[in-house]
Amino acid sequence: MTQAGGSGAGTASGEGFDAVVLAGGRARRMDGADKPGLTVGGRTLVERVAEAVRDARRLIVVGPPRAQLPHAIVVREDPPGAGPVPALRAGLAEVRAPWLALLAADMPFLLPGHVAALLAAARAAAAPGAVLVDADGREQWLAGCWRTAGLRAALTGYRGASLRGLLGPLAPARVSLGPGGAERERPAWYDCDTPGALAHARRLLTEGEG
């Protein structure tokens, strides 16, 4: 399992990448709120994720338009809110680079260095992709980088609704976090999928902090 550093910017050397950020959905556990538009540390969640992929050739946001991201390519799954697999299909149609980062829009602690580590891990392992794993060793399927051609091939004929069912058989490299420092309190894979998780992230990243 590859260890990822918690800081740093830029991407691994080699071929470029595009970013697909899933920023739609119904946010049932957040009472239907526009989760990607909620603020943590003075910026919206989707802005924070977009900053983590600032080195991407293209930023593709699957969801409603975001005034904070005027440079993004915006697409919608059909129908809106249909789930992550239809959203991935919609975003993948706009990918042009040989690699892509596939990310949820609710990870406030994700950094450019984490994305670079995922790309480097996939290349070093000659794998079709790489995903972050949490502190319990569970794959975070919306925090990964993938070969574009391989992901397109996997989607061909896939009729399931589960990202795990789609991505798991590809046997990606698994990237874990270092044991200490900021990663302990602010892990890259942390997502704000409940009001409590959002409140905790806000305590860690107080309003006005970059």
The number of beta carbons lying within 10 Å of the beta carbon of residue 73 is 16
- pTM comes to 0.88
Residue 148's pLDDT band (cuts 50, 70, 90): very high
The number of beta carbons lying within 10 Å of the beta carbon of residue 41 is 18
**In this model, does residue 153 exceed pLDDT 60?**
yes
Tokens of 113: 């260095």
**In this model, does residue 18 exceed pLDDT 80?**
yes
Radius of gyration for the chain, computed over Cα atoms and rounded to the nearest angstrom: 16
The pLDDT assigned to 25 comes to 63
To the nearest whole number, what is the mean pLDDT of the chain?
87
The pLDDT assigned to 74 comes to 97
The answer to whether 85 touches 161, Cβ cutoff 8 Å, is yes
The pLDDT assigned to 27 comes to 59
The tens digit of pLDDT for each residue in 48-104 reads: 999 999 999 999 999 999 999 999 999 999 888 889 999 999 999 999 999 999 999
Strands (E), the chain: 2-4, 17-22, 39-40, 43-44, 59-62, 73-75, 99-104, 129-133, 139-147, 173-177
Give the range among 66-70, 73-77, 106-110, 178-182 with minimum mean pLDDT: 178-182
The pLDDT assigned to 14 comes to 56
